[in-house]
Structure 1
Amino acid sequence: MLMRIGGTETASLDEVWIEVKNPATGELIDRVPAGRNEDAALAVDAAEAASGSWKKKTMRERGMILFRAAEKVREQHKDLARLLTMEQGKPLHESIDEVRGYANILEFYAGISAHQSGEFIRLGSSGDGLVVREPLGVCGAIIPWNMPVLIMGWKVGPVLLAGNTLVLKPASTTPLTNIRLAKILDESGLPPGVLNVITGRGEEAGEGLVRHPGLRKISFTGSCATGMKIRELASHHLKEVTLELGGSDPMIVLNDADVDRAVEGAVRGRFYNAGQTCTAVKRLYVQEAIAEVFIRKLKERTSTLNVGNGLGPKTDMGPLNSSGQRDLISRAVEDLRENDHGTIITGGCALKGKAYEQGWFYRPTLVTDIVPGSPLVTEEIFGPVLPVMTVPNLETAIREANNSRFGLGASVWTSNMHSARKAFDEIHAGIVWVNRHLTIPPEIPFGGVEGSGIGRENGQDALDSYSRTKSLVMGW
């Protein structure tokens, strides 16, 4: 497997390779070049060379390429999903949903391409004004391993439709499906050099990309620490940034909620993708009057989840993406157990046995009686561990929900629309769901507040963020 620069494939200059392994079996799937600063420079040069002709195309012409790519993705969605499961670990049905979600995003941007226009302004005796939007130029995108296909769509769709060229760096553990999707865009008519994929580790290929003076904007999805470093590096050349960082999403269940529906929402919201989702439910607050029944049902439902190889026909939850990720989760739970910071009511350990010995599996885990200030609540736990806490009322739940440095998403489960509106108005988050969690349609702007990032993915907001206005004033 090779990098893709300027529409062709090339090996890294020194041909150092990164192995891509199946998280369920440890099996070697493929290998990709460990790109360095020199490779990032080549990719930016290729994007710059393609920039002039690409921005001259009409937005509708660019949109048609995205539409054709979405059509090809739908035709190949089973093969793409299988590849995604093999490198990332998630169950096949989740991979299918993610691949279809990528196609949805491209179709959305293709669909709005014909409705973009400038603005004509009558200025009276001063003349007339015209405001148009121009592309920024060469943009960069660094995407994570947890939702690599969907997040590639978040970057590629608006960047390319706005008339920019792009250098994309996938995560080192999940680059294969991203490379295949880039080839599909090629096959759909994308000119050489408009989209370039550079593989490698963040401290080498990623940092080399961010530092390059030819880049006009960098979009990053990942950890808070890395996001802060990227923002600092980008400031050296006044690059624009979009940062979608970590989250510690609260889920609030009130007394008047549909308990069974909320239980299902908590299970999916926490254990989807083995809990490796920025907007996963990471803190669960249940009102006291229903807490006993809710926790009992939640425990029963969690215990039914079938954990195994994502390619298995009955798998509900796959492995964690890497041994390092499983070690982080194991240490967090062991620290809680050793310090008596909570009560583990189900799970709490890695899965053992012949079927699991080569993979990075962990049992779905529920914890109650959490000690205030426990890292399980204050930090982002990126795995299948859910702390459950009781609260007397909505006001307390909102106060606890806001007691965090994060502000990505939140949900409230209630049949009272006044309660839902109060939660929406007062919770510090970029998106608030009512009686659901995780759903992010491409039409809806998505991003965090406070420690969860700056800027927005999706919707018209994302498209506008990849262009700048230019004004013309005519005097008569």
Structure 2
Amino acid sequence: MEMLINGKTAVAADDGWIEVKNPATGELVDRVPRGGKDDVAAAVEAADACFGAWSEKTMRDRGLVLARAAELIRRDHKALAELLTREQGKPIREATDEVRGCANILEYYASIAGQPAGEVVSLGKAGDCLVTRVPLGVCGAIIPWNMPVIIMGWKVGPALLAGNTLVLKPASTTPLTNLKIAGLLQEAGLPPGALNVVTGAGETAGEALVTHPRVKKISFTGNCATGHRVRTLAGEQLKALTLELGGSDPMIVMPDADIPKAVEGAFRGRFYNAGQICTAVKRLYLHEKIAGEFMRLLTAKVEGTNIGNGLAPVTEMGPLNSAGQRDRIAGVMQDVVDRQEGCVLTGGGPVTGKAYENGFFYRPTLVADVPADAALLRKEIFGPVLPVITVPDLSTAIREANRSQYGLGASVWSRDLSTVKEVFGQVHAGIIWVNRHLTVPPEVPFGGTNESGMGRENGFHAIDSYTQTKTLFLGW
């Protein structure tokens, strides 16, 4: 599969290739060009040339293109979901949800397609000011491998609706579905150059995109270390930035919670997509009154998880996305054992057997008796490992929840409104769920604080982030 630049497929200037393999089998799915600086320059030039015509269209007309693209995504959702599973590894059910979710995002932005809100400021005898919002120009988006289709929607939808043109760099392990969806956007009427996709490594194509002088904004989703690098490089040119980085979301369960519902929430919140989600439940705080019952139910559920190839309908958890991901999780768990930083209740190792020998499978893992300063609680563990901490009261849970450099999401499971208000007021996070976790509809602003990043995706807030104010001063 080839890159998409100025409405045409393109091979990288150096004619190198990146192989995309199925994480469940190790089989080659496809290959994409190893794009670099010259390819990014060509994509930016195409986006720059298209910007004038695209930005001059009404927002309603731009919204109609997004609506037609959503129809095409829904038309092809089965093939897109299968491709996503083959390149990413997630179960076909989760891949289907993600593809449909991307269509839902584009439909949402199409539904709010009106002229950008403005204001009139009256200065009396000095005159009047008309303040409006205008697009930034050429924007860059860097997509991660864990939720590539949803996050593509988060970035493409508001950027294009606001009148910008875009250069997108997908992750090297999951570029295929992004390329297919870019093709559907073009089929829907997006003009050549409005959306360009350059495949390649982060240190080459990614850096070239971040540092290109004609790129006015970078929206990056990925790990903290790379996020800091992006911020430094973009800051040198005063680019606008949205950074959605790591997370270590706490889940707090109080005695009055619906325990079976909370158990299901913890299971799905941690092991969905094999735990490879920024807003996954990464620290579970259980009130001591219900900890025993909760863990009996959760352990049984985890031990009954059907692990396998994501294309099998019965699979509940697929492989990790790469050998590197699997090895990192294995290293984390070896450290837990070596440092005696917890008791492994279940899991704690790769899945063995002939059916799994070529894939990157790791067992869903529960770890109890984790010390407050353990690495499992301080670092983001991007995989199917859940540390469990018993607490005597809500104040302790809140204090421990805030012992993190991150601040992306959190959830509280309780029927008591005063408990909810206390958690909402005191826990450091960009989004706090009550009696649920993970759900992020496109209407809801999403992003974090502290090391979890800056800026917001979704909703009208995203439109604002892809525009800037422009003032007309009328001096009568």
Per the shorter chain, which TM-score range?
A: over 0.9
TM normalised by structure 1 equals: 0.99
SS in structure 1 opposite 2:114?
Answer: helix
1:116 positional shift? 3.3
Q: Name the CA distance, whole Å, in 2 between partners of 1:388 and 1:416.
A: 23
TM normalised by structure 2 equals: 0.99
Q: Name the CA distance, whole Å, in 1 between partners of 2:475 and 2:170.
A: 49
In the other structure, the counterpart of 2:335 is: 335
SS in structure 2 opposite 1:355?
Answer: helix
1:123 positional shift? 3.1
Output the amino acid matched with 1:370: V
Question: What whole-Å deviation, never above 9, does each CA across 1:88-122 have from its counterpart, x for those lacking one?
Answer: 00000000110111011101111101263322333
Q: How does 1:344-363 map to 2 (within 5 A)?
A: 344-363=344-363
Output the amino acid matched with 1:200: G
In the other structure, the counterpart of 1:272 is: 272
Q: Structure 1 regions of 5+ residues with no counterpart?
A: none
1:467 positional shift? 0.4
In the other structure, the counterpart of 1:75 is: 75
1:352 positional shift? 0.6
Q: Name the CA distance, whole Å, in 1 between partners of 2:163 and 2:116.
A: 12
Q: Name the CA distance, whole Å, in 1 between partners of 2:131 and 2:67.
A: 28
SS in structure 1 opposite 2:263?
Answer: helix
SS in structure 2 opposite 1:348?
Answer: coil
In the other structure, the counterpart of 1:365 is: 365
SS in structure 1 opposite 2:68?
Answer: helix
Q: Name the CA distance, whole Å, in 2 between partners of 1:368 and 1:66.
A: 47
SS in structure 1 opposite 2:398?
Answer: helix
In the other structure, the counterpart of 2:152 is: 152
In the other structure, the counterpart of 1:94 is: 94
In the other structure, the counterpart of 2:426 is: 426
Question: What whole-Å deviation, never above 9, does each CA across 1:12-42 have from its counterpart, x for those lacking one?
Answer: 0111000000000000000001111111111
- For these two proteins, the number of residue pairs brought into alignment is 476
Q: How does 1:365-404 map to 2 (within 5 A)?
A: 365-404=365-404
Output the amino acid matched with 1:290: I
1:473 positional shift? 1.9
> 2:372–2:400: 8 Å Cα contact kept in structure 1?
no
Deviating above 3 A after TM superposition, structure 1's stretches of 4 or more consecutive aligned residues are none
SS in structure 1 opposite 2:390?
Answer: strand
> 2:398–2:427: 8 Å Cα contact kept in structure 1?
yes
In the other structure, the counterpart of 1:10 is: 10
> 2:66–2:185: 8 Å Cα contact kept in structure 1?
yes
Q: Structure 2 regions of 5+ residues with no counterpart?
A: none
Question: What whole-Å deviation, never above 9, does each CA across 1:57-79 have from its counterpart, x for those lacking one?
Answer: 01001000000000111111111
Output the amino acid matched with 2:68: R
Question: What whole-Å deviation, never above 9, does each CA across 1:181-201 have from its counterpart, x for those lacking one?
Answer: 000000000000000000001
SS in structure 2 opposite 1:114?
Answer: coil
Q: Name the CA distance, whole Å, in 1 between partners of 2:324 and 2:379.
A: 17
In the other structure, the counterpart of 2:109 is: 109
Identity of aligned residues (%): 63
Q: Name the CA distance, whole Å, in 1 between partners of 2:174 and 2:161.
A: 25
Output the amino acid matched with 1:52: G
Q: Name the CA distance, whole Å, in 2 between partners of 1:473 and 1:338.
A: 67
Output the amino acid matched with 1:24: A
Q: Name the CA distance, whole Å, in 2 between partners of 1:70 and 1:63.
A: 11
Question: What whole-Å deviation, never above 9, does each CA across 1:175-219 have from its counterpart, x for those lacking one?
Answer: 000000000000000000000000001001101111111110000
Q: How does 1:211-290 map to 2 (within 5 A)?
A: 211-290=211-290
1:127 positional shift? 2.5
1:443 positional shift? 0.3
1:364 positional shift? 0.4
